[in-house]
Structure 1
Amino acid sequence: MTVSYLSGNRRELVRAAMNAPYLSREEEHQLALDWRDNDDQAALDRLSLSHMRLVIAVAAKYRNFGLSMSDLIQEGHIGLLEAASRFEPEREVRFSTYATWWIRASIQDYILRNWSIVRGGTSSTQKALFFNLRRLRAKLSSGTTRVTETELVGKIAQTMGVKVADVATMSARLSGPDTSLNAPMMESDGSSADRQDFLVSDDPLPEEMVGGAIDTERRSLWLESALGVLSERELRIVRERRLSEEGATLEALGHKLGISKERVRQIESRALEKLREALLKVQPDKRAYCG
Structure 2
Amino acid sequence: MKLLSAEKQLFRAAQSAPYLEREEERQLALRWKNSQDSAARDKIAHAHMRLVIAMASKFRGFGLPLSDLIQEGYIGLLEAAARFEPEREVRFSTYAGWWIRASMQDYILRNWSIVRGGTSSSQKALFFNLRRLRAKLAQGDKRLTDQAIHQEIAVALGVSLSDVQVMDARLSANDTSLQAPVSNDDQKTERLDMLASDDILPDELVTQVIDGERWHDWLQSALHELNERECRIIRLRRLSEDGATLEELGAEFGISKERVRQIETRAMEKLKAALLAKTPERIEA
Question: 1:84 aligned to 2:81?
Answer: yes
1:1-291 → structure 2 map (5 Å cutoff) = 5-188=2-185, 191-201=187-197, 204-205=200-201, 207-208=202-203, 210-221=205-216, 275=277, 278=278
TM-score for the superposition, normalised by structure 2: 0.72
Larger radius of gyration: 1
Separation in 1, partners of 2:57, 2:133: 19
- Which deviates the most, 179-188 or 83-92? 179-188
Change (3 A) 1:223 1:165: farther
Letter in 1 for 2:189: A
Change (3 A) 1:279 1:24: closer
- How far did 1:209 drift? 5.2
Separation in 2, partners of 1:20, 1:279: 87
- How far did 1:120 drift? 1.1
Look up the SS of the partner of 2:189 in the other structure.
strand
Letter in 1 for 2:81: A
- Tell me the alpha carbon deviations over residues 78-131 of structure 1, each in whole angstroms, 9 at most, x when there is no partner: 000000110111111100000000000000001111111222122222111111
Look up the SS of the partner of 2:34 in the other structure.
helix
Point out where structure 1 has 5 or more consecutive residues left out of the alignment.
229-270, 281-291
Residues 55 and 80 of structure 1 are in contact (CA less than 8 Å); yes or no, is this contact kept in structure 2?
Answer: yes
Separation in 1, partners of 2:101, 2:187: 48
Change (3 A) 1:151 1:112: same
- How far did 1:187 drift? 4.9
Separation in 2, partners of 1:212, 1:87: 67
Residues 6 and 70 of structure 1 are in contact (CA less than 8 Å); yes or no, is this contact kept in structure 2?
Answer: no
- Tell me the alpha carbon deviations over residues 197-232 of structure 1, each in whole angstroms, 9 at most, x when there is no partner: 233458634x4554343234235446657889xxxx
For this pair of structures, how many residues does the alignment match?
A: 232
TM-score for the superposition, normalised by structure 1: 0.71
Which 4+ runs in 1 deviate beyond 6 A? 225-228
Point out where structure 2 has 5 or more consecutive residues left out of the alignment.
224-272, 281-285
